């Protein structure tokens, strides 16, 4: 019998959103059914019952196999569940069941991706992706972790979680689980299989892959050598501006406030130096092919690069209105539907040795525990540290093996069979060297070019050419899954750091606050120590001078802070510590634009004698000021413009305060000018491998290009990179590049050759004038001639797409599964980091994937929001019911204590042991 769902006294407001969204959900169901009756391209007929079959039961009672006691699942008006149990096993068993209720399609796709089995679901189009992922061996490493490394308690929790998922799957057909399975069933007889503990562990490998650090920069630097000198490449990768943008740990401290270290010696060059100076052309073609391959790998967290970041900061109680710390976090990841995050509370009715958890926050569907959030004693947040944990190695290979230290060593090989829905299985052979798997084996183009790669006498004989191996810390078994549970149980800074020590990959900045008023920071991670080189360019794999030390940087030597005198800690992907630190964490930090803005906002409040409130923290998260506009606009408005239409647009910049609100015409025009400045000064000078696909220009001849314009001795080249990952992307690295030459109007970067009917550009002001003209007509084409109708949000739009059938399915199905667009404010390198790639366009490609402000100690006054909603069911009332509020910068009340949870509860489901 269904449970009584009458709202408790005082909770009627909590039920109103549910009823309102429910009506909208019913309308969407009707629209979907009509669309499917029309065919969705296949002439299929689905009934309303088919669409609703997968909706979860959220009231009444259900028997759940394996439970030792009753478990209550309480959902609020947004469908966010809070689970109450009496043992760890029951708690995680219920978590698996509930997440499967809401998100199993997402979980299933994710586990097929991490194990290189997408072809089993989606057919032959995924074979190349599967082959690359099998070569990396994520699933293989996850299995090794589960079998040999993880604690027994962790494995019990993983097993309980898997049992809960499988209890939900038992006896269900695909259409009973998700409408996507019904759609998939039109062309495929795929049936979901049972969940395993290793499926959960493997997800951390996908997370580590998308947060792997500077691998793309390593590739790009090598590709730039085909057109740019070493000095020019250095111009495009400036040093971190320590004098302007503070690092996270400001005292150069490791393990103590007084620790001082001498700067490390200058690193030796890898492939970029004398070792194989003549191998540029062949190597670059291989790396271009590798870059293309990387573009095809599903980026679950977002385009790898400056955009993959986050903001987090914590302010101690001396500087807050609450008298206790306030902690904020908003990870910047790929927009997806459903959101990567799943909000949830995991509560032991009574915390004891057999039931150890009382925690709430953001989880990953498919993995037990809470990733970011708080328990009854501490709160924590994550941002990407960006440590350089990958290196590419050029390998001299033959049929017998690979060359190392003057000898031929045999490959470690394994056979992989890729099953293909509706087709014949494919077999691949994975070859590994001492530097990792040969990723070049997955590209026929790289294989061919490797045979032609020129070499110098300093390198081995050419033979069959070069291959490329990937060395990556995540390919060794680790204890990151243990760290998740240890964080959830941590009581103080000591136990927090003990948990952080096991969070090996991906390497994250961890911030901390506790109910005793303490704040802290820890840089964890398995970060390699290089024998030679600095990881910025590929290294020669045949030389024993290169490679990594056996052991990574010791945890006790990694930076941390505890109760710094300034009273706050900010992490936003800037440098962790200054260059006096003895170890190299990376040469490719984010450049600190966002972090310094947050620092400035907090310090301004403190200097003014004020205290930071929860509302202040929330407002800071939505700060959208453009740092590069503040540098460029004063010069742009002084340039004489004769064209009346361009002058009309230029006037928008006069008096503008550099904020990028959605309704701002000035923000729209400035960002158009910024995009065109980058294109004219830098983009048109980059090799085709870095420029966006379809963008064609005339350039100086280079080997392998054509056809030649005989009159001007130029060749027409078209870009080759996906627009979301092309360069110049306009991130804060490019802020530093432009700022470094801004007061040098005759710098060579400001000069550009004639293109078609456009005259050559000789200096900065000419380039700025051309950029303003080009932006005027670009925006006219996109927004109309009347500038009074322009606004940034119409250019800068977010569309949420279902990550499988919403991107590859029939058009009508995509329209049924996807949502949007939303017109957004914010921008690249703003605190409100609604990222866009200036080389590719203005559309939003990464976002604050969630936002939270934790009121430490007074937990029920904390606030949170998700990008989408709790449900992965495309026609549920909770599919995107948080998105409008997220777009407006609003946060929801975050209930944690039992009284607050009961007050906000709309539906209660009791899971009972059989």
pLDDT, tens digit (0-9, with 9 covering 90-100), for 637-665: 999 999 999 999 999 999 999 999 999 99
Q: Over 60: is that where the pLDDT of 306 sits?
A: no
- Which helix (DSSP H) or strand (DSSP E) does residue 859 occupy? none
CB-CB neighbours of 709 under 10 Å: 11
Residue bearing the bigger pLDDT, 479 or 290? 479
Q: How confident is the model at residue 455 (pLDDT cuts 50, 70, 90)?
A: very low
Strand, coil or helix: 140: helix
Distance separating alpha carbons of residues 393 and 547, to the nearest angstrom: 9
Report yes or no: 716 and 768 within 8 Å, Cβ to Cβ. no
19 burial level (CB within 10 Å; 0-12, 13-18, 19+) = exposed
Q: With the CA atoms of 344, 345, 346 and 352 taken in that order, what torsion angle do they form, in degrees rounded to the nearest 10?
A: 160
- Give the residue-averaged pLDDT of 910-914: 95
Distance separating alpha carbons of residues 254 and 259, to the nearest angstrom: 6
Report yes or no: 305 and 213 within 8 Å, Cβ to Cβ. no
Where are the strands (E) in 385-536, listed by range? 390-398, 401-404, 407-409, 412-418, 426-433, 436-437, 466-472, 508-514, 519-522
Q: Over 60: is that where the pLDDT of 678 sits?
A: yes
The mean-pLDDT minimum among 338-352, 723-737, 739-753, 802-816 falls in 802-816
pTM for the complete prediction? 0.90
Q: How far is CA 26 from the centre of its chain?
A: 33
Q: Position of tokens 């190597």?
A: 283
| Predicted pLDDT of residue 428 | 94
The mean-pLDDT minimum among 251-255, 336-340, 382-386, 481-485 falls in 251-255
Distance separating alpha carbons of residues 556 and 524, to the nearest angstrom: 10
Distance separating alpha carbons of residues 241 and 336, to the nearest angstrom: 33
- Give the residue-averaged pLDDT of 624-639: 98
Distance separating alpha carbons of residues 524 and 690, to the nearest angstrom: 32
Q: How confident is the model at residue 814 (pLDDT cuts 50, 70, 90)?
A: confident
The share of the chain scoring above pLDDT 70, in percent, equals 83
Dump pLDDT digits (tens) for 164-179.
999 999 999 988 999 8
Where are the strands (E) in 683-828, listed by range? 696-699, 708-709, 714-718, 797-800, 819-823
Strand, coil or helix: 519: strand
Residue bearing the bigger pLDDT, 721 or 195? 195
The mean-pLDDT minimum among 24-38, 52-66, 156-170, 430-444 falls in 24-38
409-416 CB contacts, 8 Å cutoff, 24+ apart: 409/433, 409/434, 411/438, 416/116, 416/131, 416/134
| Predicted pLDDT of residue 451 | 39
607 burial level (CB within 10 Å; 0-12, 13-18, 19+) = exposed
- For helices 88-114 and 152-169, angle between their N-to-C axes, nearest 10 degrees: 80
| Predicted pLDDT of residue 292 | 62
Dump pLDDT digits (tens) for 520-579.
999 999 999 999 988 888 888 999 999 999 999 999 999 999 999 999 999 999 999 998
Q: How confident is the model at residue 261 (pLDDT cuts 50, 70, 90)?
A: very low
DSSP conformation class of 692: B
Would you state the structure tokens that stand for residue 285, as one six-digit string?
A: 């073609």
Q: Over 80: is that where the pLDDT of 115 sits?
A: yes
CB-CB neighbours of 644 under 10 Å: 7
| Predicted pLDDT of residue 251 | 62
Would you state the structure tokens that stand for residue 520, as one six-digit string?
A: 């802290």
Where are the strands (E) in 240-368, listed by range? 309-315, 326-333, 341-348, 358-364
Distance separating alpha carbons of residues 285 and 204, to the nearest angstrom: 31
897 burial level (CB within 10 Å; 0-12, 13-18, 19+) = middle
Distance separating alpha carbons of residues 841 and 723, to the nearest angstrom: 8
| Predicted pLDDT of residue 522 | 97
| Predicted pLDDT of residue 809 | 65
- Which helix (DSSP H) or strand (DSSP E) does residue 75 occupy? strand 71-76
- Which helix (DSSP H) or strand (DSSP E) does residue 447 occupy? helix 444-450
- Give the residue-averaged pLDDT of 180-202: 90
- In this structure, the chain runs to a length of 914
CA end-to-end span of the chain: 16
* Mean pLDDT over the full length of the chain: 86
Q: Over 70: is that where the pLDDT of 47 sits?
A: no
């Amino acid at each position: 019998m269904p449970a009584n769902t009458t709202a408790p006294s005082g909770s009627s407001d909590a039920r109103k959103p549910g009823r309102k969204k429910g009506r909208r959900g019913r309308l969407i169901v009707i629209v979907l059914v009509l669309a499917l009756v029309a065919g969705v391209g296949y002439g299929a007929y689905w009934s309303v019952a088919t669409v609703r079959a997968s909706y979860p039961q959220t009231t009444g009672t259900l028997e759940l196999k394996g439970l030792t006691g009753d478990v209550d699942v309480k959902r609020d008006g947004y469908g966010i569940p809070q689970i109450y149990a009496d043992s760890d096993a029951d708690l995680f068993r219920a978590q698996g069941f509930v997440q499967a209720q809401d998100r199993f399609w997402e979980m299933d796709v994710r586990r097929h991706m991490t194990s290189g089995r997408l072809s089993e679901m989606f057919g032959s189009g995924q074979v190349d992706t599967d082959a690359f992922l099998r070569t990396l061996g994520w699933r293989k490493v996850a299995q090794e972790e589960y079998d040999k490394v993880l604690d027994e308690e962790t494995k019990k929790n993983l097993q309980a979680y898997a049992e809960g998922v499988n209890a939900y799957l038992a006896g269900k057909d695909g259409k009973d689980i998700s409408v996507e399975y019904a759609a998939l069933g039109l062309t495929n007889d795929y049936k979901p299989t049972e969940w395993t503990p290793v499926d959960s562990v493997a997800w951390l490998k996908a997370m580590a892959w998308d947060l792997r650090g500077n691998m793309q920069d390593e590739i790009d630097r090598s590709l730039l050598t085909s057109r740019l000198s070493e000095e020019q490449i250095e111009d495009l990768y400036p040093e971190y501006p320590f004098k302007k943008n503070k690092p996270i740990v400001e005292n150069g401290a490791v393990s103590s406030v007084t620790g001082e270290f001498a700067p490390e010696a200058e690193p030796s060059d890898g492939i970029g130096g004398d070792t194989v100076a003549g191998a540029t052309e062949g190597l670059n073609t291989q790396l271009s092919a590798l870059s293309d391959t990387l573009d095809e790998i599903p980026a679950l967290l977002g385009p790898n690069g400056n955009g993959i970041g986050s903001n987090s900061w914590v302010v101690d109680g001396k500087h807050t209105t609450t008298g206790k710390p306030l902690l904020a976090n908003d990870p910047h990841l790929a927009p997806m539907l459903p959101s990567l995050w799943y909000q949830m509370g995991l509560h032991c009715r009574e915390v004891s040795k057999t039931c150890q958890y009382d925690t709430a926050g953001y989880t990953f569907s498919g993995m037990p525990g809470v990733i970011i959030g708080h328990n009854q004693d501490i709160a924590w947040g994550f941002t990407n540290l960006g440590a350089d944990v990958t290196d590419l190695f050029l390998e001299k290979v033959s049929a017998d093996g690979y060359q190392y230290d003057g000898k031929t060593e045999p490959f470690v090989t394994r056979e992989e069979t890729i099953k293909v829905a509706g087709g014949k299985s494919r077999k691949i052979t994975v070859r590994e060297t001492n530097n990792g798997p040969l990723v070049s084996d997955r590209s026929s183009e790289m294989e061919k070019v490797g045979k032609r790669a020129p070499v110098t006498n300093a390198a081995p004989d050419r033979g069959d050419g070069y291959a490329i191996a990937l060395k990556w810390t995540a390919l060794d078994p680790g204890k990151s899954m243990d760290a998740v549970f240890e964080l959830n149980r941590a009581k103080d800074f000591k136990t927090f750091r003990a948990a952080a020590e096991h969070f090996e990959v991906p390497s994250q900045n961890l911030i901390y606050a506790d109910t005793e008023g303490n704040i802290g920071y820890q840089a964890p991670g398995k970060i390699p120590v290089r024998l030679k080189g600095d990881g910025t360019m590929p290294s020669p794999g045949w030389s024993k001078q290169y490679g990594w030390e056996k052991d990574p940087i010791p945890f006790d030597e990694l930076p941390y802070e505890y109760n710094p005198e300034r009273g706050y800690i900010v992490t936003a992907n800037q440098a962790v510590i200054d260059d006096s630190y003895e170890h190299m964490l990376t040469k490719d930090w984010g450049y600190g634009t966002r972090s310094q803005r947050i620092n400035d906002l907090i310090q301004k409040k403190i200097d003014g004698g004020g205290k930071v409130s929860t509302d202040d923290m929330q407002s800071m998260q939505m700060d959208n000021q453009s740092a590069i506009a503040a540098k460029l606009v004063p010069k742009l408005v002084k340039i004489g413009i004769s064209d009346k239409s361009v002058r009309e647009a230029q006037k928008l910049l006069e008096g503008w305060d550099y904020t990028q609100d959605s309704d701002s015409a000035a923000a729209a025009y400035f960002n158009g000018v910024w995009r065109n400045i980058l294109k004219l000064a830098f983009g048109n000078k980059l090799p085709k491998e870095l420029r966006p696909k379809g963008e064609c220009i005339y350039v100086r001849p280079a080997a392998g290009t054509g056809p030649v314009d005989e009159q001007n001795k130029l060749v027409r080249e078209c870009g080759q990179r996906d627009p979301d990952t092309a360069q110049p992307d306009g991130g804060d690295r490019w802020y530093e590049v432009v700022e470094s030459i801004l007061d040098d109007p005759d710098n060579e970067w400001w000069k550009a050759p004639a293109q078609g009917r456009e005259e050559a550009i000789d200096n900065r002001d000419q380039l700025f004038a051309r950029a303003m003209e080009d932006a005027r007509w670009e925006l006219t084409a996109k927004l109309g001639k009347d500038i009074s109708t322009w606004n940034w949000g119409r250019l800068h739009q977010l569309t949420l797409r279902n990550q499988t059938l919403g991107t590859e399915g029939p058009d009508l199905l995509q329209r049924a599964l996807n949502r949007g667009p939303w017109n957004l404010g914010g921008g690249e390198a703003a605190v409100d980091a609604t990222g866009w790639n200036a080389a590719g366009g203005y559309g939003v490609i990464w976002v604050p994937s969630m936002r939270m402000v934790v009121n430490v100690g007074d937990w029920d006054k904390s606030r949170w929001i998700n990008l989408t909603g709790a449900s992965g069911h495309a026609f549920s009332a909770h599919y995107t019911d948080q998105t409008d509020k997220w777009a407006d910068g609003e946060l929801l009340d975050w209930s944690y204590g039992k009284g607050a949870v009961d007050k906000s509860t709309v539906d209660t489901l009791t899971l009972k042991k059989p």
